[in-house]
Amino acid sequence: MTEKESANNQTKTEEKSQNGMAGIASQPISNGTENKKATEIEKKAENQGTPPSKMMKAWEWLKRKADEANLADYLIVLLTAVIALWAGMTWWEMHDAGKQTDKIIAADERLATAMENSVAQAKTALDASIEASRTDQRAWVALKGIHPEPLEAGKQVIAKVYLVNSGKTPANKFGGYSVLVPASTERLSQFPVPPAYAYTASIGTLWPGVDSTADGSVTVKGFNLSLTPSGLEQINRRKQFLFVYGEYTYFDIFDRKHTTQFCARYSATSKTFEMCPNHNYAD
């Protein structure tokens, strides 16, 4: 080989070497720029937080945790789940038991109310039965009649008052008064109580079916009454009137006090005493 050819070959070799160096030098510059842009795009995507990337990260995190988890972690999770399930079942049972308890309480209240009503009704019925028995068995003192003797001028007016116990038991502490009252009106509006000495019946016991006779011939002031001929004529002509009224009290065997009041007016037509429209009462 000549020196010229050797020089040419050396020159070509140097050119190829330079070209190769230029290619190697330019390639890293181009690849670095592209990698930088890719990195920026990835960071931008991460910063934007697109759903796919978040889901992927979450999934990768779970996989890592699953890989890192050991048996103790699984047992803790399982135990926590069991405790949560047991707590839920317990709460449900307590909730259901609370409802059942409320129902039982409501039923008990209704039962108690029904029992109270039943007791009240039974007491009412018992009281009514007792009252009916007392009413049936008690003493009843009533006016049987007033019988006057024939009126004559110059003679005392005499009227007998008859009372009877028509009940089934004795009338205890029986007593009262009967009085004779002359008046100029056909109806009495006042019935004054006479003084104690005008009482014509002593306090005692009036037995069932037995009559009591009282003297209704004294005035409210305790005096006897006699009629003059003119007075008798006025009564017969209905210018003057004669009344007999009274009041008697007694106690039945249940120690309840009772009162019998009466009033009657003399009739010149029937020659008897007829009942007044007022002051006639018995309990």
123 and 73 in a single domain? The answer is yes
Q: Where are the beta strands (DSSP E) in the chain?
A: 141-148, 159-165, 171-183, 201-206, 211-215, 241-251, 257-267, 272-275, 281-282
To the question of pTM greater than 0.85 for the whole model, the response is no
117 and 239 in a single domain? The answer is no
In a domain, 14, yes or no: no
173 and 254 in a single domain? The answer is yes
Q: pLDDT tens digit string along 266-276?
A: 999 999 999 99
The total number of residues written for the chain in this structure: 283
**What is the distance in angstroms between the CA of the first residue and the CA of the last residue of the chain?**
173
Compare 169 and 23 and report the one with higher pLDDT: 169
pLDDT at 255 over 90: yes
Q: pLDDT tens digit string along 141-164?
A: 999 999 999 999 999 999 999 999
Angle ∠(196,192,201) on CA atoms, nearest 5: 40
Task: Give the pLDDT mean for 92-110.
Answer: 75
In a domain, 82, yes or no: yes
3-state secondary structure of 74: helix
Q: Give pLDDT, residue 19.
A: 46
Q: Give pLDDT, residue 193.
A: 84
As to burial, measured by CB atoms within 10 angstroms (0-12 exposed, 13-18 middle, 19+ buried), residue 192 is: exposed
The secondary structure of residue 227, as a DSSP letter, is: B
85 and 154 in a single domain? The answer is no
In a domain, 41, yes or no: no
114 and 145 in a single domain? The answer is no
How many structural domains compose the chain?
A: 2
Domain of 75 in residue numbering reads as 59-135
Compare 147 and 73 and report the one with higher pLDDT: 147
